[in-house]
Amino acid sequence: MKFKKIFISSVLISVMGLKGVCFAKENNAKDATQELPEVVVTATRTETPITETPGSVTVITKKDIEIKNPKTIDEALNDIPGVLVKRGKGLMDTLARITLRGIPGQQRTLVMMDGIVLNNPYYGGIKIAGFFPENLEKIEVVKGPFSSLYGGYAMGGVVNFITKMPEKREFTLKSGYGSSFDRGEAMDDLRRFYISFGDKIANKFSFFISYGRHDTNGYPTNPVIRNSAPPAGILGYINSYDKYGNPVYIYGDKGDNTWWDDGITVKAQYDFSKDTALRLTFMRNRYKYDYDNPHTYLYNATTGQSLYYPKEYYYLAGSGGRTQNIFGLNFNTKILKNLLMKFNLSYLTTEKDWYISPSYGATISGGPGKLSDTIQNRYYIDLQFSLPLFTNQILTFGGSFIKDYANTKEKNLSDWRDETSTTTLKYQSKGKTQSYAIFIQDEIEISPNLTAYLGIREDWWKTYDGYVNQIGTTGYPIEYDSHSESCFSPKFAIVYKPFEKTTLKTSIGKAFRPPTVYELYRTWTSSYSGITYAGNPNLKPETVVSWDIGIEQKLWKGAKMEITYFQNNMKNLIYSKTVNATYQEKVNVGKAQSKGIEFSIEQKFRKWLKLFANFTYTDSEIKENDAKPSTEGKRLTYTPLWMGNIGAELKRGKFSAYIVGRYVDKMYGNDENKDKKSYVYGSYDEYFVVDASFSYKFNKFTTLSLTLNNIFDEDYYQYYKAPGRSWFAELSIKF
């Protein structure tokens, strides 16, 4: 609570300070610059000024990205109201996620890159590794239900990362190094490299190619925890608690969590005419994590000898990684006089998405293990037409097709340290989903200051070819029948400008999320408990009905304020139901609600300084859950009650700086909210972290930057122990 009080007080003080400073400068015409409104595409599928888009929209421009100097693309979203970026252990967090407006789970927020869906076909999540912010032109964040335009996953909203194409010859080379201030408390020996080249030839042909890579020796993220203390004569353990408040004992850790990722992007575009262009895209992203030698804290009290008690097996952690390719084709043209067509075709394929688990009896020097690998692919086709009607309407319509496939295999390993030492197949589950859709949206300018948007979409979804085999277990293999559903997604929005400096927006809509291959077919039986954890091929899509109302108000010169109230009513949420003592099955039973307020204010002084502050209040609750009634009335998981940001951007001559303080309230990872203990492994703690980035441009081509993360060395957990104070320096050459 102390951070919450400090943060809210800081916001109020900043707002009062902004007001005083701004009125003092109000009459100085030179302090204000006229800016053209930012144009966005994601909110309506057509180019629309941000002030005229339906719903709550935020655009992070290329200049914003450059001054923030993020290392990963999701870090660029850290200071936006209503957006939660969860990255518990820095680069090494393979489960990093972006969620909007208190709707938990990455699978309920649609994330795209240049219109290509990045939510993976297996469980709907995103592994952001291998994408580099230097490739981005801007990021568009659209909050609220957008299934009327984009179909599944868009329950909380849409995040669209838009990459750049060069207008002239350009070359970029970056190289940097950083580490923690206290060795072992953050990402040690972080090395970063990026290079790109692009050009536009004869105003017709453009191309762009880039490569980037991260490497780090990491830091210990996985402690070795036991429920009882070692016997007398063994010392060095640490007394602690689990997230439920039960006493536990830390015997050591599983070693420094090392990491590398890289990515290559190749793009080519040919402009046949002003209105006709063809673009081809290829992106390949890889990552791999591992752990070096584990650390035991235990030692013999008599001899002082280090001990791996009770077995080395408990101190081991396996490696993992992913290799993913994305192919894209985009064709835009004008048909007849006013009919615009956009055609998008993409193919996403995961060559491997794997992790290793050492088996009981393994040691540091080798022994048995298990390799789990999931092959995934997606075909996506989207066809869109835009047609002006009369003098006051734009009709946008089209259709899409998406087909997902995922195949998980688990194989035994003769040596857990070697991913190639596979022997027999232990487990397999696989399945397919597909959907067809048609959509239409009518944008109607009722009057010069009043615009209405009406959109509808129908999706026909199907799952089929489900198969599970747990080798040697009674009842397997299992083949599942196909199942289909249809989803209707309407949306209505109004944008009203009663005054020149005032914009009112309100919208209501419905969105859905189809169940994933994981939820449909991931069935397995525990060899320890005998319990079967079953998918369900008859699951229905989850749905949400949402509405919001907001105001955007320009205040004095350079200042603006936005406030939005939102409410989400979720239905048919998917939970695991205990059918009997030995069988659990996923079912549609849940109802939940999240509602809250987003508030932001900013002040710009000429072109060189911007101060900003925002906060988000989200009241979330599970309303109904017949599968687990004890969760009713509890907060939704991974949904903080309060979030907020306060900061400044400065650009003066050759020097630029960005500093932000980010507050996130305590979250629950347990759906019964029993994980109330804070600052222990597995907890999701409240925190207030201050980050800063400084850059100095020596000349037209060369820039040196310094980034400081967690400046005040805030000690907290986001399941894993979050990175402590660290620094990173980078040299950039551009021409």
Q: What is the DSSP string of 28-72?
A: -GGG----PPPEESTTTSS-EEGGGSSSEEEEEEHHHHHHH--SS
Q: Write out the two tokens for 44.
A: 């309506």
**Range 513-522 burial, b when 16+ CB lie within 10 A, else e:** bbbbbbbbbb
Asked whether 86 and 75 are in contact (CB, 8 A), the reply is no
Better-predicted residue by pLDDT, 497 or 21: 497
Average pLDDT score over the chain: 91
Q: Phi first, then psi: what are they for 98, rounded to 5°?
A: -120, 120
Residues recorded for the chain = 735
CB-based contacts of 458: which residues, under 8 Å, 6+ apart?
437, 438, 439, 486, 487, 488, 489
pLDDT in tens, 135-151: 999 999 999 888 889 98
pLDDT at 21: 37
pLDDT, position 527:
65
Boundaries of domain holding 512: 2-734
d(CA 69, CA 684): 26
Are 205 and 177 in contact by the 8 Å Cβ rule? The answer is no
Instruction: Indicate if the pLDDT at residue 15 is higher than 80.
Output: no
β-pairing verdict for 422-447 and 450-470: antiparallel
Q: How far apart are CA 187 and CA 725, in angstroms?
A: 9
Q: Hey, which residues does 455 pair with through a beta bridge?
A: 441, 491
What is this structure's pTM?
0.92
Q: Is residue 7's pLDDT more than 50? A: no
Phi, psi of 593 (to 5 degrees): -140, 140
Confidence at 368, pLDDT banded by 50, 70, 90: very high
pLDDT given for residue 304 in this prediction: 93
Query: Which one of 36-40, 103-107, 608-612 scores highest in mean pLDDT?
Result: 608-612
Residues 535, 538, 542, 545: what is their CA dihedral angle, to the nearest 10 degrees?
-160
Q: What is the CATH number of the domain that holds 497?
A: 2.40.170.20
- Tell me the C-alpha distance between 415 and 365, whole Å: 9
Average pLDDT value for residue range 297-311: 95
210 - beta bridge partners? 196, 265
pLDDT at 36: 56
Task: Among 1-15, 66-80, 192-206, 528-542, name the one with the lowest average pLDDT.
Answer: 1-15
As a dihedral over the C-alpha atoms of residue 641, residue 492, residue 158, residue 11, rounded to 10 degrees, the angle is -40
pLDDT at 4: 47
User: Which positions ≥6 away from 350 have C-beta within 8 Å?
Assistant: 120, 322, 323, 324, 325, 374, 375, 376, 377
Round to whole Å and give the CA distance between 122 and 3: 38
Closest CA to 100 of 558, 508, 616, 604: 616
Total domains in the fold of the chain: 1
pLDDT score recorded for residue 528: 65
Tell me how far apart the alpha carbons of residues 97 and 527 are, in angstroms, rounded to a whole number: 31
pLDDT in tens, 174-210: 999 999 999 999 999 999 999 999 999 999 999 999 9
Q: What is the pLDDT of residues 432-490, one digit of tens each?
A: 999 999 999 999 999 999 999 999 999 999 999 999 999 988 888 999 999 999 999 99
State pLDDT tens for residues 76-113.
Answer: 999 999 999 998 898 898 888 899 998 988 999 999 99
